[in-house]
Amino acid sequence: MREAADKDYGLIVLSDACLDADPEVHWVLMEKVFPRQADVLTVDEWMAILTAARLKIG
C-alpha cells in the first residue's frame, strides 16, 4: 500500500476483508495508519459505491 500511495494511486482498504492476529494492531492500522494514505471502507460500503456507479453508467 505504501509504495502504491507513493506513486499516487487512489487506494481503498477493505477493513473487514483483512485481518491482523492482534485486534489492537488491526484497529490502529484501520483507524490511524491506513486512512492517511487510503480510503478505508467495509466490503458493503465498497459494493454500494460500485453498484451506484454501475447504475449511473446504465
Per-residue HEC secondary structure of 3-47 comes to: HHHHCCCCCEEEHHHCCCCCHHHHHHHHHHHHHHCCEEECHHHHH
| Mean pLDDT, each 10-residue run in order, the chain (58 residues) | 92 96 97 96 97 87
User: Residue 56: its pLDDT value, please?
Assistant: 86
User: Residue 4: its pLDDT value, please?
Assistant: 93
Whole-model pTM: value is 0.83
Number of structural domains, the chain?
1
- Expressed as residue numbers, the domain containing 42 is 2-57
